[in-house]
Structures are given as structure tokens and as C-alpha cells.
């Protein structure tokens, strides 16, 4: 379908969704669907909930955020469960400004943008439909038309609580245009749009000397005073401030802590009392979520100032730290690259992972727990198995520091350095070493990194390089194994036969000669030693394997190559060790013979077809691994 047809269909869909009727008609709608009359906070919560919730490792994963926010499941769960959910239930938390606080490029703005875009789409669904008094610049809630003395009876009949008073403009229109008959007031369905300033507002403070409070609350239209005769006539007032336009939805307050006090006190009144002062009118009711964001240093300065105590007590601070998982950090870089003009450049596999390893190391704090260094901690955080540590250890590590992830290298720095690498190298392919080199060079020019941190970060680049060396060797050695999976399965089955015979004190029968043999101790030890199983521990390890084998058989399941993680690792390492000399000779030979050349071409083809390399990066990888193995 062409883009113009899609635009046309969207226009027709919006036309189909439009609705207009009297207040009496609107009451019939909310009688059938009371959720239509939900508050702004409730609408945001339901929007998030309706997108789907999954359980992952005992944590809630909200689908609404999952395509854009990576590695922040705990922060998002806290945001939804401690703010949006209770606020949706009209608990006191909704009377607070939501302040997202965290380091630069940590995802704060992305969360706010997702909420805005989400509300725009949600208002076009049945579950998120929003209705307002037609012609009202603040798209006022129609239920404000119900007089105060009848609201208790209305609640008993409809089960809907009404908060807020009819605005001065609609009070006048009710009398003049409808003769006080609320049942005749025209109601329309509205669709949130930041561009059209309907239900979504954004305020960014500028120079306090020049910024006018009218940007928030609207202003008098002096050209109409002669017509209407008074500044207190609501028709002579422009209800076009951000607080007016964001009514029924949400308003983003950027750099809130840099704002002048007069702006912040309006927000206090709005969040606490649900109204604000504008012009020469009574307080104007508004129902909106106020969300702001700031960094940690500004927030600390803000709370240190005693003058801000009243405001501080009316703010809920949600920390949004950096992601601390390598695999999720890779996804962040992939997303940023996809949205850039770099998408056509071939970035060799593992290049982004190595950059992610460096970034995560800069964000982690040294553990006080014995036997845990930063690399082990990084692996545990990423869901990897680390010998000697379990899930309880991971939970203890995560509780050790409440502010972990609030400092370190930000994703934008990494993407900037990758961009620099692409431009400097002037080839359509970059590898992990190019990225590490660029990250290191960039530290010299980074103005906000202290000398002490710079030294630490250079050390982390060395650690990331070491990690990459192991990854690269495994990648090449794996590619060198012809029919790798078959070789691994065959070796594992041989090992299992020997383990079974050893534990049951049986003999094995040679498949060719038929003679009985003792279990092959040399073979078993050559595999077990790959993962550090000592002579004293071999019996316990073999018995554990046999127990696992029996458990699978009882359940009618097949024990295969992936059924025991440590055994799989041992098999891989044994295969790699056997191939090491072949890889060494083949990759380092200046004048490879025909068979070596054939082997190299097979490996390059496998790296391209199965591992995502191109010919340039595959050749670079082979040369590098050859040099590593020859050291």
C-alpha cells in the first residue's frame, strides 16, 4: 500500500472514530462504559497495562516499554507499581509531581516520549476514548457540568466520582448558549496530539528574566477587551498555556529544577489541589499528569536548598539508572544505529558487545563480597552462570548499592565513538578492535571525566579487550570445527557412556572388536579438566551427570548436548583445545598450502553464512586470532 493510501486510511479512520452528541447522549455512553470517565493518571496506567505484562525471572516486564527501553525492568516496574498504579486508584500519590532522576542518556526522555506517543494512540482506541465539552480550549471534562449538590447522587447512580469545577469560560457558555440546560451542551470525542496541543503539553524553562508565566497558564487577549469590556471576562482570555492544553492528559516539564519559583508554585497547586490560578478568575480545575526529569547533581543541589522543602515533599522521585546488563546494552546500541545514517555500515559481530562490556564495567561498583570481581559481577548481572555463585548471591549483589548505575559511560558516548571510527576508517566495515581503539582515544577528549576515572576506564578497555580475545578465539575455533554440533554430540555421547560405566562399575564393549574395556579415564579427565574439575571432585561430578541423565529418562525426555551447561562448556573447550594447533598453523601461515587455503576459505564462508561477518571482518578476525594463538 502506498504511503498516500495509508495517510488516507488514517484520515478515514479518525473520521469514523469522531463522535458528537449532547451531554444527555454522553451520559448513556458512560452508563455502559464507566471507564470512559477515567482520570488522566488512570488513563496512563491502563494504557501501560493493556499493552501486556509478562513475568521474567520473577520480575514484571511491561510490553509498553520493552521495544524501546532495555535493561531497566526494575526501574520501570517501580515506576508503574509505586506511582502509576496507586495514582490510578486515586491514592494520594497522584497529587505529586513525578520526577525521573538519572544520568544523561539513561532513558528518562525516552520514557516520557513513549508515554506521550502512547497516549496519542491510546486516545484513538475504545479503551482510551476521551470526550470533552465541544469548543473548550482546555477540552474540559463533561462531568464538570454536574452541579456540586448532585454529585453524591451521581456517584450512587453511575459509580463515578467527579472532581473539579466547571471553568469560567464554560460556566458563561452554559448560561449564554444553552440557557443553563446541561443536557443540551454539545460533547465531542477528542484525540490527544502533542503537535495540535490537545491533552499533551511540553514546557521548557528559558531565561527567568524573559520567560512569562503566560506560557504556563495562558494570557489576556488585549485586542478583545474593547469588545467584551473587562479583563475578567473569560472570552477575553487565551486559555493557551501548557497547563491549559495538557488538561486530561500529561505535561512534560523539562529541566524542572532550573525553573523560576513562580512556575513551580503553579505546579504545586495543580498537583495538590487539582487547580491553578490564571488571570482574574477563580481557580481553574485541571486533571493532568505532570512528569519532569533531571540529573542527580541538580537534584542534590535542589534538596540541599531549604527554600525548596515544600516543593520537595510534593515530588515523587523515581531513579532511572543506566542499564547494567551487557546483552541489553547491545540492544541499545543496535537501536541507536538503526535510527541513524550508519545503518548501512557493517559492524562486525561482537563489536557492539565489546563496547557494551566496557560501558557496563564503568557503571558497576566493586563488591564487598569475597571472590567477586567486576567481570564476575558483570556476568552474573547478565544472567550468565558463574561457578560458585547462585541466584541468592546475585540478589545480594543487587542490594549492595542503592545508587549503582547512576554513574559511568553513557550510550551516546559509545555511539559517537563508533561514528568517529566509521568516518575515520572510511570503509564500510568496522570490528571490535576499531571500536575499542576509538573508545580509548575519545577518553582523552572527554571534558567531564576526571583523571582518576580516565585511568580506571583505560583499564576497563584492557579488560574488555581481554574478554574479546576469548570471544574471538572461541568464534574462530568453533567455525573451524566441521559439523561442530555433530562432533560435540558424538564426544558427549562417548563421555556419557564412559561415565555410566564408571559409576555403575561396569565395562564397555568395543563396537569394532567386541572385547570388553575399562572406562576411558584419560578421555573423561581430558574433558573434565577443561572446566577445572579436580581429581578429588571427578567422582561427584560424574555422579551428578548420571543423576541428571536418570531424571531426564524418568520424565521421558532426551538428555542432549544442551541439557547440562557445564558439561556443554567442557565439551566445547575440549574440541577447541584439540583444534588449537590446526587453527594456529592455518591462520598464521604466510604461504598456506592448498589444503590450508581450502580450510581458511571454508572457515571464512562459515563465519559469513552462520555468524554474520562479511569478507573483510571475517579475514580481520582470522588474522587477529592467528596472532593471539602464536603469542
The cell for 403 is: 545508587
CA 217 – CA 280 distance, rounded (Å) = 12
Residue 249 in contact with residue 116, Cβ under 8 Å?
A: no
How do 275-276 and 219-220 pair as beta strands? Answer: unpaired
Place of cell 554513574: 407
Give the pLDDT of residue 277: 84
Give the pLDDT of residue 486: 77
Rg from Cα positions in the chain: 32
CA 90 – CA 67 distance, rounded (Å) = 29
Give the pLDDT of residue 476: 87
CA distances in angstroms from 453 to 162, 325, 406, 412, listed in the order given:
55, 21, 15, 18
The cell for 276 is: 491553578
3-class SS letters over 310-324: HHHCCEEEEECCCCC
CA distances in angstroms from 293 to 112, 123, 313, 327, 438, listed in the order given:
9, 24, 16, 26, 31
Choosing among 3.40.640.10, 3.30.420.40, 3.40.50.300, 1.25.40.340, the CATH entry for 2-319 is 3.40.50.300
Q: Where in the chain is the domain with CATH 3.40.50.300?
A: 2-319
C-alpha 429: how far from chain center: 28
DSSP conformation class of 558:
-
Angle between helices 484-503 and 565-588 (to 10 degrees): 130
C-alpha 407: how far from chain center: 17
Who's near 298: CB < 8 A, 6+ residues apart? 257, 258
Low-confidence ranges of the chain (pLDDT < 70): 1, 207-210, 425-427, 482-484, 587-590, 592, 631
Count other C-beta atoms under 10 Å from residue 154's C-beta. 16
The number of residues making up the chain comes to 631
Residue 25: which of 256, 189, 180, 148 has the closest Cα?
Answer: 189
Q: Is 599 left (phi over 0), alpha (psi -120 to 50) or beta?
A: alpha
For residue range 44-74, what is the model confidence (pLDDT) as tens digits?
Answer: 999 999 999 998 877 889 999 999 999 999 9
Measure the CA angle with vertex 97, ends 95 and 100; round to 5°: 140
CA 508 – CA 495 distance, rounded (Å) = 12
CA atoms within 13 A on the CB side of 469: 12
Give the pLDDT of residue 294: 87
Burial of 609: CB neighbours in 10 Å, binned 0-12, 13-18, 19+: exposed
Angle between helices 108-122 and 40-50 (to 10 degrees): 90
Q: Which helix (H) or strand (E) holds 63?
A: helix 63-66
Give the pLDDT of residue 425: 60
Count other C-beta atoms under 10 Å from residue 334's C-beta. 14
Give the pLDDT of residue 589: 67
Buried b (16+ CB within 10 A) or exposed e, 449-469: beeebeeebeebbebbbebbe
CA distances in angstroms from 145 to 60, 437, 467, listed in the order given:
40, 66, 67
Give the pLDDT of residue 260: 72
Q: Residue 55, SS3?
A: strand
Amino acid at each position: 500500500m502506498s504511503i498516500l493510501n495509508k495517510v488516507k486510511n488514517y484520515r478515514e479512520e479518525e473520521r469514523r472514530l469522531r463522535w458528537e452528541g449532547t451531554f444527555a447522549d454522553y451520559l448513556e455512553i458512560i452508563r455502559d462504559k464507566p471507564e470512559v470517565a477515567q482520570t488522566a493518571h488512570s488513563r496512563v496506567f491502563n494504557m501501560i497495562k493493556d499493552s501486556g505484562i509478562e513475568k521474567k525471572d520473577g520480575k514484571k516486564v511491561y510490553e509498553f516499554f520493552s521495544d524501546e527501553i532495555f535493561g531497566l525492568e526494575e526501574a520501570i516496574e517501580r515506576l508503574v507499581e509505586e506511582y502509576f498504579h496507586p495514582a490510578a486508584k486515586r491514592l494520594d500519590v497522584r497529587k505529586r509531581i513525578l520526577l525521573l532522576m538519572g544520568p544523561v542518556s539513561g532513558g528518562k526522555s525516552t520514557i516520557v516520549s513513549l508515554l506521550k506517543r502512547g497516549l496519542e494512540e491510546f486516545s484513538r482506541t475504545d479503551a482510551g476514548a476521551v470526550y470533552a465539552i465541544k469548543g473548550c480550549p482546555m477540552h474540559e471534562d463533561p462531568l464538570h457540568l454536574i452541579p456540586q449538590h448532585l454529585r453524591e447522587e451521581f456517584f450512587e447512580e453511575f459509580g463515578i466520582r467527579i472532581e473539579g469545577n466547571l471553568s469560567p469560560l464554560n460556566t458563561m457558555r452554559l448560561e449564554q448558549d444553552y440557557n443553563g440546560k446541561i443536557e443540551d451542551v454539545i460533547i465531542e470525542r477528542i484525540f490527544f496530539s502533542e503537535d495540535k496541543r490537545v491533552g499533551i503539553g511540553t514546557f521548557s524553562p528559558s531565561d527567568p528574566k524573559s520567560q512569562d508565566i503566560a506560557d504556563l497558564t495562558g494570557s489576556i487577549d488585549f485586542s478583545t477587551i474593547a469588545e467584551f469590556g473587562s479583563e475578567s471576562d473569560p472570552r477575553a482570555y487565551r486559555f493557551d498555556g501548557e497547563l491549559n492544553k495538557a488538561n486530561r492528559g500529561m505535561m512534560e516539564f523539562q529541566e524542572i529544577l532550573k525553573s523560576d519559583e513562580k512556575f513551580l508554585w503553579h505546579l504545586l497547586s495543580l498537583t495538590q489541589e487539582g487547580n491553578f490560578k490564571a488571570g482574574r478568575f477563580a481557580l481553574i480545575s485541571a486533571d493532568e499528569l505532570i512528569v519532569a526529569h533531571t540529573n542527580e547533581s541538580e537534584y542534590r543541589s535542589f534538596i540541599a536548598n531549604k527554600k525548596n522543602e515544600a516543593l520537595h515533599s510534593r515530588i515523587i522521585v523515581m531513579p532511572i539508572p543506566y542499564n547494567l546488563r551487557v546483552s541489553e546494552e547491545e540492544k541499545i546500541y543496535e537501536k541507536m544505529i538503526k535510527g541513524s545514517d550508519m545503518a548501512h555500515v557493517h559492524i562486525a559481530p561482537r563489536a557492539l558487545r565489546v563496547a557494551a562490556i566496557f560501558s557496563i564495567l564503568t557503571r558497576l561498583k566493586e563488591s564487598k563480597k569475597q571472590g567477586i570481581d567486576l567481570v564476575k559481577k558483570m556476568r552474573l548481572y547478565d544472567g550468565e552462570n558463574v561457578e560458585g555463585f547462585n541466584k541468592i548471591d546475585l540478589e545480594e549483589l543487587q542490594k549492595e548499592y542503592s545508587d549503582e548505575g547512576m554513574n559511568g559511560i553513557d550510550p551516546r558516548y559509545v555511539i559517537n565513538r563508533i561514528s568517529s571510527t566509521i568516518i575515520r576508517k572510511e570503509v564500510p566495515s568496522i570490528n571490535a578492535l576499531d571500536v575499542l581503539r576509538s573508545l580509548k582515544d575519545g577518553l582523552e577528549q572527554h571534558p567531564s571525566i576526571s583523571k582518576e576515572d580516565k585511568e580506571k576506564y583505560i583499564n576497563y578497555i584492557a579488560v574488555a579487550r581481554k574478554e574479546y580475545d576469548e570471544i574471538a578465539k572461541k568464534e574462530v575455533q568453533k567455525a573451524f570445527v566441521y559439523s561442530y554440533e555433530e562432533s560435540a554430540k558424538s564426544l558427549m555421547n562417548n563421555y556419557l557412556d564412559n561415565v555410566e560405566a564408571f559409576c555403575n562399575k561396569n565395562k564397555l564393549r568395543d563396537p569394532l572388536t567386541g572385547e570388553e574395556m575399562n572406562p576411558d579415564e584419560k578421555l573423561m579427565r581430558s574433558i573434565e579438566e577443561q572446566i577445572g574439575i579436580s581429581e578429588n571432585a571427578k567422582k561427584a561430578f560424574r555422579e551428578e551427570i548420571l543423576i541428571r541423565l536418570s531424571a531426564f529418562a524418568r520424565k521421558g525426555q532426551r538428555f542432549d548436548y544442551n541439557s547440562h551447561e557445564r558439561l556443554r562448556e567442557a565439551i566445547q573447550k575440549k574440541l577447541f583445545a584439540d583444534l588449537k594447533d590446526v587453527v594456529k598453523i592455518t591462520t598464521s601461515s604466510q604461504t598456506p598450502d592448498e589444503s590450508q587455503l581450502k580450510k581458511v576459505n571454508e572457515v571464512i564462508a562459515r563465519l559469513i553464512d552462520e555468524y554474520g561477518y562479511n569478507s573483510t571482518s571475517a579475514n580481520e578476525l582470522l588474522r587477529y586470532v592467528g596472532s593471539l594463538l602464536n603469542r
